Structure 1
Amino acid sequence: MGSILPGNLDLITTLASHCLQRTTESVQQTQVTLRQAIQPLPPGFPPGPDGDVALELAQNPLQCLESLKSRYGGLVGFKLASRPIVLVSSPAFAREVFVNQSSIFIKAGTAFFPGSSLAGNGLLVSDGDIWKRQRRLSNPAFRKAAIQTYAEAMVNITEKMVKNTWRTGGVRDVYADFNELTMKIVASALFGADEGSENLAQVGPAITQAFQFFTRRATSMFIVPEWIPTFDNIQYNSAVTGLNKVVYRLIDERRSQLAGSSGSKKKDLLTRLLQATDDDGSGMDDQSLRDELMTLLVAGQETSAILLTWALLMFALHPHTQELVFQEVSEVLGGQPPRQSDVSKLKSVSQFQIPIPASQPSCTPPSPHLISMI
């Protein structure tokens, strides 16, 4: 008979302990979910629908949210996949949550990334002292000069897409175009990645796969923990592992460049985060850097592509608005490429709102991202 070597025994003990801890956490989370499913909403909860809105949200998210807002106002309470949710759409209520009474609100993850390995403990998820420190260290990366650098990258990359990809006539899947565009912009702003780089080729598909995973998970009545080896989880964890390899490699390379005699000439967000220090002279460790970069990558890429896609659809449905914006852009820019300082001058772009009635089916056409190029 074979024997188990002491080293292997320690490994088995460690794995068993890890699995037991994860199982205990999953059981506790399941118990919380079940309690939330059977318990009514607490007294004083904002008014809202009686039933769970998960199915309605999955079928038509935009119509569901607009309907809740129009029926119940700027503060709506309801259950989403058994979880109690408050939809805040009023600027006044949002200010109470984020500014006036921020100290009494605790950030317990996010609806999309509850305890997720993707977002880690970045600004999107973190809270308390950790959030405050990361926010201080991140400030230099979002000062005026830094924003100007990112804006220049946005303009240059967008001009290349319009010039080399888009043509008048025909039909294009602008959602696919904007996904590629925003990935190039985010990769350039975060990492200084050039078009066609190996890092960019690895990041794009992985982010898409992760978002598809969370979209399916968002409306699930029972969330399977990420560590359980289901087919969906295996694909997702493989995508996160690939992203981690790219991000940690970029962090190591940039640290080496900054430590060298010539330093790094890049002005991307990664360099600015690496150069930032706290009052005691300490900066972010690799894990914190990874979490912040991943958070910005997740928050800035596909969300921007979705917004741009819907903006073009709204212009297509409302030609008068399209003409107003076109005239304003022509007058402000005078045929020159836009600059970051021009944004405040584009009043129609920043202020015009198109109401989307919950009963208006034309706002959700069969192929909302297929736009005719005229």
Structure 2
Amino acid sequence: MKNLPKVPQWRVILNAQRILKNPISFHQEIFEELGDNFMVKTPAGKPVVFTRTPQIIRHVLQKNHANYKKSTLQTEDLANYIGNGLLTAEGEHWLVHRRMIQPGFHKKKLVGLLGIMHEAIQNELRQITPESNFDVYSLMGDLAFQVVAKSLFSRSDIRESMAKLQKITEDNQQMVIKEMRQPYLQWWFALSGMKNRHLKFAADGRQILNTIIEERITSAHKKNDLLDMLLEATYEDGSHMSRQQLIDEVLILFTAGHETTANTLSFTLYLLAKNPGAQEKIYQEIKELDFHQENLYEIIGKLPFTKACLEESMRLFPPVYIIDRVAKDDDEVANQEIKKDTLMLLSIFELHRNKDFWEQPDDFHPERFLKMDKKEYSEYYYPFGAGPRMCVGNNFAMFEMLLVLAEIFKKYTVSTEMDNMELNPLISLKPKKVAINFKERRR
């Protein structure tokens, strides 16, 4: 891109530790100083463009998505640890598997999983201790992981295995972030044995999943869960996924499926703890509904304000706070030329808080999503991404989160003494800690 303001390399180097800890504040500082688009040159001389311009973001993700691919940070670095599944795959390989898997996440298909999902949520929420402050991020992480596990495997006897897999997933994500933000230390990661140690963790995680899959195949017992959907999915020639590919896809569902949900629920509980009026509106919406009925899908459709709270939470704290794409060929958009091989970093966090598109952008106002038609904000609201690579599990996540909030607020009110949260941007946007007090609701 020509004539873009440039951030000198010395400034990036001086802020290296700050960027490693939390790049969002550094990005905000530069956006406010230089405008909606700016460039950083890497030591290798390749251009990196940061943007919060909605026309450019929409062009890259939707209008001309075929000209853009994911960076090697995802297709190679992240893939080293979680395999070549939907999140990390590119090209024809991605397209084929997306077409295979997407039907399993259609709303109507997910209806059959709602009972399993609801039971898992109720079991995990029994960990809540009223009248005591505790970090809900840990609780929401365990809950979301168990919901994915039960929805995938329909088993109640794998908690220990899933706890090991969860620990491996979280540890390896920390390693990936180090590699992404400190590429100049790759030699040390290899020499010290750190990288090999984490690759061994990844292999251990794959073996856990392989054992569970083997048991299912050997039993020949149909459970109509997500694992059955993956086992039954076929290519055009009628063949099934290889065992390696199957494990790759299951790992992606665990990694992306539990983490973004846990993050959003934690942020939402914090925002609601700061807004007792919004809690009361949720309670009024759910208090007469029977969530033990079989028709959970219909009941979930009766929660517009609860859904708006989640949407507003994902606006303020988007699960995928930044999206990377690399230009395959020269391109042009919004009077800007994009040269081949340019790395585009699309700041969803900045777009979601841009005062040109949102009134009081830093404030929690869920009502805005009830007042506006979706078409009014669709070009500057991307909580699950956009275009062909939009998150395949967005409906699954929304169903789960709505059920969690309904279960919590029909029993409790929440409060917090925290004035603000410290963010922990890794592959997705996490909170460092969310200390919440639960008080039993008076009937």
> Fold-level match, TM-score > 0.5?
yes
Report how far residue 245 of structure 1 moved: 0.5
Q: Secondary structure at the match of 1:206?
A: helix
Question: Which residue of 2 is the match for residue 242 of structure 1?
Answer: 204
Map of 1:236-275 to 2, 5 A cutoff?
A: 236-258=198-220, 264-275=221-232
Question: Which residue of 2 is the match for residue 310 of structure 1?
Answer: 267
CA distance in 1 between counterparts of 2:153 and 2:248 reads: 14
Question: Which residue of 2 is the match for residue 281 of structure 1?
Answer: 238
Moved more, 74-83 or 269-278: 74-83
The percent of aligned pairs where both chains have the same amino acid is: 22
Q: Secondary structure at the match of 2:7?
A: coil
From 40, 45, 56, the equivalent of 1:93 is 56
Report how far residue 131 of structure 1 moved: 0.9
Q: Secondary structure at the match of 1:267?
A: coil
Report how far residue 70 of structure 1 moved: 4.5
Q: For residues 179-226 of structure 1, give each alpha carbon's deviation from its aligned partner in whole angstroms, at most 9, with x where no partner exists.
A: 211111121122334255443233122112212222333321425279
Question: Which residue of 1 is the match for residue 117 of structure 2?
Answer: 154
CA distance in 2 between counterparts of 1:69 and 1:151 reads: 42
Map of 1:1-374 to 2, 5 A cutoff?
A: 43-44=1-2, 47=5, 49-50=7-8, 51-52=11-12, 54-71=16-33, 75-78=37-40, 84-110=47-73, 114=77, 116-162=79-125, 164-194=126-156, 196-224=158-186, 228=190, 230-258=192-220, 264-316=221-273, 318-319=274-275, 322-332=276-286, 334-337=288-291, 339-341=296-298, 342=300, 345-346=304-305, 347-352=307-312, 353-354=315-316, 355-356=361-362, 362-364=420-422, 368-374=433-439
Bigger Rg, which one: 1
Q: Does the 8 A contact of 2:124 with 2:143 survive in 1?
A: yes
The amino acid across from 1:327 in the alignment is K
CA distance in 2 between counterparts of 1:99 and 1:59 reads: 31
Q: Does the 8 A contact of 1:206 with 1:243 survive in 2?
A: yes
Moved more, 194-203 or 101-110: 194-203
CA distance in 2 between counterparts of 1:57 and 1:151 reads: 40
Q: Does the 8 A contact of 1:191 with 1:269 survive in 2?
A: yes
Q: Secondary structure at the match of 1:371?
A: strand
Question: Which residue of 1 is the match for residue 321 of structure 2?
Answer: none
Q: Please, what is the CA RMSD of the aligned residues?
A: 3.3
Q: Does the 8 A contact of 1:81 with 1:220 survive in 2?
A: no
Question: Which residue of 2 is the match for residue 12 of structure 1?
Answer: none
The amino acid across from 1:293 in the alignment is V
Q: Does the 8 A contact of 1:74 with 1:89 survive in 2?
A: yes
Q: Does the 8 A contact of 2:168 with 2:205 survive in 1?
A: yes
Q: Secondary structure at the match of 1:199?
A: helix
Higher RCO (C-alpha under 8 Å, 6+ residues apart): 2
Pairs aligned (count)? 320
In the alignment, structure 2 segments of 5+ residues that lack a partner are: 317-360, 364-418, 424-430
CA distance in 1 between counterparts of 2:56 and 2:279 reads: 30
Identify if the C-alpha distance between structure 1 residues 90 and 275 changes in structure 2 by more than 3 Å, giving closer, same or farther: farther
Q: Secondary structure at the match of 2:40?
A: strand
Q: TM-score if structure 2 supplies the norm length?
A: 0.62
The amino acid across from 1:311 in the alignment is T
Q: Does the 8 A contact of 1:140 with 1:273 survive in 2?
A: no
CA distance in 2 between counterparts of 1:188 and 1:60 reads: 33
Q: Does the 8 A contact of 2:37 with 2:53 survive in 1?
A: yes
Q: Secondary structure at the match of 2:436?
A: strand
Moved more, 192-201 or 270-279: 192-201
Report how far residue 85 of structure 1 moved: 3.9
Identify if the C-alpha distance between structure 1 residues 148 and 45 changes in structure 2 by more than 3 Å, giving closer, same or farther: farther
Q: TM-score if structure 1 supplies the norm length?
A: 0.73
Q: Secondary structure at the match of 2:79?
A: coil
The amino acid across from 2:278 in the alignment is L
Identify if the C-alpha distance between structure 1 residues 332 and 177 changes in structure 2 by more than 3 Å, giving closer, same or farther: closer
Q: Does the 8 A contact of 2:136 with 2:435 survive in 1?
A: yes
Report how far residue 148 of structure 1 moved: 2.3
Choose between structure 1 and 2: higher helix proportion: 1
Identify if the C-alpha distance between structure 1 residues 273 and 79 changes in structure 2 by more than 3 Å, giving closer, same or farther: farther
Choose between structure 1 and 2: higher strand proportion: 2
CA distance in 1 between counterparts of 2:256 and 2:238 reads: 29
Q: Which segments of structure 1 move beyond 6 Å, counting only runs of 4 or more?
A: 80-83
Q: For residues 346-371 of structure 1, give each alpha carbon's deviation from its aligned partner in whole angstroms, at most 9, with x where no partner exists.
A: 452244355449xxx83439963222
Identify if the C-alpha distance between structure 1 residues 246 and 349 changes in structure 2 by more than 3 Å, giving closer, same or farther: same
Report how far residue 84 of structure 1 moved: 4.8
Q: Secondary structure at the match of 1:168?
A: coil
Q: For residues 287-340 of structure 1, give each alpha carbon's deviation from its aligned partner in whole angstroms, at most 9, with x where no partner exists.
A: 211111111211122332222222222333x32xx4225414532562433944
